[in-house]
Structure 1
Amino acid sequence: MRYEDPWYDALASGWGESDGAGTPAEAAVPAARTETDGAGDRARDVYVEVQRSEAFQEVRGRYRGFVVPGVTAFLLWYFGYVVTATTAPGFMARPVAGAVNVAMVAGLGQFLTTFLLTWAYARHARLRRDRAALELRWDTQELTRGARGGAS
Structure 2
Amino acid sequence: MTVQHDSSVYEDIQSSAQFQELRRRYRSWAFPMTVAFLAWYLLYVVLSGFARGFMGTKLFGEINVALVFGVLQFVSTFLIAWAYSRHAAKKLDPLADELRGQVEEKSR
Partner in structure 2 of residue 40 of structure 1: none
Amino acid at match of 1:82: V
Q: Give the TM-score taking structure 2 as reference length.
A: 0.94
Amino acid at match of 1:106: F
Partner in structure 1 of residue 2 of structure 2: 3
Partner in structure 2 of residue 75 of structure 1: 38
Partner in structure 2 of residue 144 of structure 1: 107
Which structure 1 residue ranges, 4+ long, deviate > 6 Å from structure 2?
Answer: none
Coordinate RMSD, CA, aligned = 1.2
> Please, which moves more after superposition, 45-54 or 118-127?
45-54
1:5 is displaced (CA, Å) by 6.6
Partner in structure 1 of residue 77 of structure 2: 114
Amino acid at match of 1:98: G
Distance 1:46 1:96, change over 3 A: same
1:107 is displaced (CA, Å) by 0.4
Equivalent residues of 2:26, 2:92 under 8 A apart: yes
Amino acid at match of 1:3: T
Partner in structure 1 of residue 19 of structure 2: 56
Partner in structure 2 of residue 101 of structure 1: 64
Once residues 5 and 97 of structure 1 are traced to their aligned partners in structure 2, the CA distance between those partners, rounded to angstroms, is: 64
How many pairs align? Answer: 108
Unpaired runs of at least 5, structure 1 = 7-42, 146-152
Higher helix share: 2
1:46 is displaced (CA, Å) by 1.5
Partner in structure 1 of residue 48 of structure 2: 85
Unpaired runs of at least 5, structure 2 = none
